[in-house]
Amino acid sequence: MCPTEPDPGDMSAIPERDSHTEAARRRRLDWLRTQAGAPLTPVQYMRTRAEDLVGNVENLIGAVEVPVGLAGPLAFSGTHVSGCLYAPLATTEGALVASASRGATALSQSGGVRTHAVAQVMTRAPVFQLGSLDRAAAFAEWISERVAQLRAQAAQISGHAVLVNIRPVMTGRTVHVVFSYETGDAAGQNMTSACTWHACQWILTRFPAETATDIVRFRVEGNLSGDKKVTYHSFLNGRGTRVVAEAEVSADVLGGVLKTTRDRLLETHRFQRGGAVHGGMVGNDICIANVIGGMFTALGQDIASVHESSLGHLELEAAGDGVRATMVLPALIVGTVGGGTRLPAQHALLDMLGCAGPGGAPRLAEIIAGFALALDLSTLSAVSADEFVAAHERLGRNRPPASAPARTETPVPGPGGRPGTAAPTGPGRFRGG
């Protein structure tokens, strides 16, 4: 029977839940070893101090290492980014970095990619239930007339989140209220939640006082915002940064780099658009989640936001003897301050891209969009040329090398370079460090 409430005296409870010290981390890991009957040696050592992870994780036991590959270079000519850049992709999928690099080469040889971060908005959508349809209609109208007052309420909580719009959505006696904020260089989910809750407390007091009408029920989120979900609402209205990337690719580059032709590529795109419609896809893309997930992981972004951030729409059309490719990402949730962006490795990679700190969010959005377009173009070309499976067979990491090295015992370095416990290494095993 799993305990429903943590009990400090219960040996089955995770120890020192609220402590972020290194000693507490090690005690939790030792406890887990006993509970699970597993050595968990690769999890034992960390490069990041436990004390530096307050606000990032609870019940810390260790860290997993995700390899980071470098894709590119990709030539940019954008509103917030220009020049040749490389993208760090944290992934364990063979062929991903190579494919993104091939697409980047094709775009760069054709003059590069043009990018523009159109707008940034973060939404939260509380829900109110009234006693009747008429009262709900009156509430929606009342809300619409008090944007200035609600903006002032939100501003008391955060000087970074600016309430730009409020839109009530009636669904019978229930009214969902979409609060839309600009949050600068922060992704903004937490700050907008706090701002919205505070503004709603004002609503819960003022509306009954001014109208003599009770609000029956209130919840701070009614699931209309689309937080960490793929929705048509986010696709159409935006959530996070809306960003566009576009490039023309010549026939010579299509043949020489992407190993396909204009006609085969356009035909394949037509097939896939039809399949997307019949499959109920929101938007149309090939595999942009690979770039977004890889870059989010490497750069300290909210990994759960990969789901909604991977909304995208790829368009191809004939342009001269080649094609014009356009990628729209309507809901890219990125930030360059706060959260995981302050961790050492993630911050270093953001800094490498020129995106660390204030002012970096629109630049980061354009970089991600450019590499998302590069990967989709490369993958679609591989499908059109019937090379998709062959590329994964050649580059995929799902099989061990023909001559695998012998398994050895290697000392695992402890914190500060001190010797640690010997750990088996070789094919199929992690190596500590």
Does residue 10 carry a catalytic annotation?
Answer: no
Q: Reply yes or no on whether 392 is catalytic.
A: yes
Catalytic residue of the set 65, 182, 302, 387: 302
Instruction: Judge whether 228 counts as a catalytic residue.
Output: yes
Active site residue: 116, 228, 259, 347, which one?
228
* Distance (Å, whole) CA 284 – CA 314: 6
What DSSP letter does each residue of 395-416 carry, written as one string?
H--SS--SSPPPPEEEEEE-GG
> Strands 240-249 and 113-124: what pairing?
antiparallel
| Nearest-angstrom CA–CA distance, 201 and 178 | 16
Q: How far apart are CA 378 and CA 374, in angstroms?
A: 6
**C-alpha count within 13 angstroms, C-beta hemisphere, residue 317:** 5
Counting beta carbons within 10 angstroms of the beta carbon of residue 116, is it exposed (0 to 12), middle (13 to 18) or buried (19 or more)? middle
Cα–Cα nearest to 334, from 234, 245, 237, 243: 243
Q: Spell out the residues 6+ positions from residue 80 whose beta carbon is closer than 8 angstroms to its own.
A: 115, 117, 362, 363, 365, 366
Decide if 229 is catalytic: no
E strand spans, 125-251: 127-129, 162-171, 174-182, 217-219, 240-249
Q: Which of 20, 80, 93, 313 is catalytic?
A: 93
Active-site annotation holder among 116, 198, 347, 392: 392
Which residue numbers are catalytic?
93, 228, 302, 392
